[in-house]
Amino acid sequence: MSNEGSALRQVLFGVGIGVAIGASLSLAASITTQQKPSIRRDHSKLARPIELRSGEVRDGVTGLIGNTPLIRIKSLSDALGVTILAKAELLNPGGSVKDRVALRIIQDAEQLGLLVPNTGSRIFEGTVGSTGISIATVARARGYDTTIIMPDDVATEKVKALEALGATVERVRPVSIVDKKQYVNLARKAALEFGTSSQLNASDASRGASDIPPFVSTSELAVAPANSKSPSAARGFFADQFENKSNYDAHFEGTGPEIWSQTNGHVDAFISGAGTGGTIAGVGRYLKSMSETTRVVLADPQGSGLCNKVRYGVLFDEAEREGTKRRHQVDTVVEGIGINRLTQNINLALPIIDDAFRISDAEAVSMARYLVQHDGLFLGSSSACNLVACVKLVKKMGWCNGERVVTIMCDSGTRHYSKFWNDDYLRQNDIPIQASIVEEMLGSPANGHTHKLEG
């Protein structure tokens, strides 16, 4: 064969291969496009809020806070015929939704001149754990020390994380908020005692909108030593997540707009639990301000009185009536949400909450196990509560046509090994571990009997 003929054959062979590869790639691309769920097709038309930009470098650990992904929960969405979307707040560097709040509280205090980095100042907070870990993380990054006062019955892994972050941890007996020894009251007192009682007088009254109840002024909570009002003096600062408006602002200006953008402004319902009320108030009010028809729904663990407050106007849980209460505070294995008093942040949320569901410990445990089994999602207890409430809302509304329900994955299961993810602990506390509860809730009874939907 001539050299010319051989060269021509090689060219034709090359073109043939090229056409074949091109055709199969475009076929694959068209199959992939067809199989993509509609949420992803919508998304591609918009500027994406989360992307890797070449040359972009975040500034330290606080640069990693927020801008979290939104994921479709495949198992629940497919089973219900709706789109359940969950904001992955557990991917924040401190491991929870509370990173945003810690950052905002500290930034606002710095802006008001109440905290100055690297002055030996110390931030105090009363918390069941997650907020403490977030404050300790941000405080370290910004040049402050931290003291965290927490009830002594929360999962011990949170204490270990706090100690690893260099926080001083005080664990106290859980008592009612009216008791001076309640952990939030003790944190306030410790902050005041860190210096002396010579409070700063800066006013931040202008920060509240007209329908928002007045907040405890952040400035009232910072204390300078008696012998010095200089900015470089060490101060004690009470973060006060329950009453501090920075908590709400972090969600109204951060989490809410992110969800709006990630869903292309299409949210039929937003569901969240309330610990301080900051998330549901901030995100709920932002979404309602963008679309009045978005339903804002509370996921309330057993033992918390908020569900009844939303439904009937009375802050009360049936465990009180039954006399079966085991714990001094909210009587549930779920940590981080549920409360039996009204805080400023909860007061902001109550007027915009459309509905509420009481979630039993058994339901939350079941959901957590179900999501590991079906989706490989290893979530903490408040996230599990949120997702049970998503299912209850969808069932109650009779939704099955792709309606979009958005919720929060607050933290991961790794924060809950010793209680919520500890089968022995659950058995000792008579909390059933049955994945079938969720299966039945979704409408596919596993063993014939039907789980009565609570709430």
Ligand X SMILES: Cc1ncc(COP(=O)(O)O)c(C=O)c1O
Contact set with ligand X (CB under 6 A): 96-98, 130-131, 273-279, 336-337, 380, 382, 410-411
Question: What's the closest the beta carbon of residue 250 comes to ligand X, in angstroms?
Answer: 9
Axis crossing angle, helix 156-164 with helix 130-142, rounded to the nearest 10: 0
Helices (H), 214-299: 245-250, 256-262, 278-290
Q: List C-alpha distances in Å: 402 to 39, 65, 371, 399.
A: 9, 30, 20, 8
Question: What's the closest the beta carbon of residue 235 comes to ligand X, in angstroms?
Answer: 24
Neighbours of 72 (CB within 10 A): 16
Indicate the residue among 222 and 274 with the shorter CB distance to ligand X: 274
Neighbours of 13 (CB within 10 A): 10
Backbone angle region of 443, left / alpha / beta, with phi > 0 → left and psi within -120 to 50 → alpha: left
Indicate the residue among 294 and 382 with the shorter CB distance to ligand X: 382
Question: What's the closest the beta carbon of residue 380 comes to ligand X, in angstroms?
Answer: 6
Indicate the residue among 190 and 410 with the shorter CB distance to ligand X: 410
Question: What's the closest the beta carbon of residue 251 comes to ligand X, in angstroms?
Answer: 7
Select from 390, 382, 320, 307 the least CA-distant residue to 349: 307
Asked if 309 and 346 count as a contact pair (C-beta separation under 8 A), the reply is no
CB environment 121-135: b (16+ within 10 A), e (fewer): bbbbbbbbbbbbbbb
Indicate the residue among 83 and 407 with the shorter CB distance to ligand X: 407
Residue with nearest beta carbon to ligand X: 336
Contacts for 442 with CB less than 8 Å, ≥ 6 apart: 76, 79, 80, 391
Indicate the residue among 275 and 455 with the shorter CB distance to ligand X: 275
Indicate the residue among 39 and 408 with the shorter CB distance to ligand X: 408
Asked if 302 and 360 count as a contact pair (C-beta separation under 8 A), the reply is yes
Question: What's the closest the beta carbon of residue 314 comes to ligand X, in angstroms?
Answer: 20
Asked if 147 and 124 count as a contact pair (C-beta separation under 8 A), the reply is yes
Indicate the residue among 92 and 96 with the shorter CB distance to ligand X: 96
Question: What's the closest the beta carbon of residue 254 comes to ligand X, in angstroms?
Answer: 12
Indicate the residue among 331 and 335 with the shorter CB distance to ligand X: 335
| Euclidean distance between CA atoms 393 and 139, whole angstroms | 38
Question: What's the closest the beta carbon of residue 212 comes to ligand X, in angstroms?
Answer: 16
Provide the residue type at 361 as one letter: D
Asked if 252 and 265 count as a contact pair (C-beta separation under 8 A), the reply is no
Question: What's the closest the beta carbon of residue 98 comes to ligand X, in angstroms?
Answer: 6
Asked if 363 and 426 count as a contact pair (C-beta separation under 8 A), the reply is no
How many Å from the N-terminal Cα to the C-terminal Cα in the chain?
A: 84
What token pair was written down for 451? Answer: 């789980």
Question: What's the closest the beta carbon of residue 56 comes to ligand X, in angstroms?
Answer: 29
Indicate the residue among 221 and 379 with the shorter CB distance to ligand X: 379
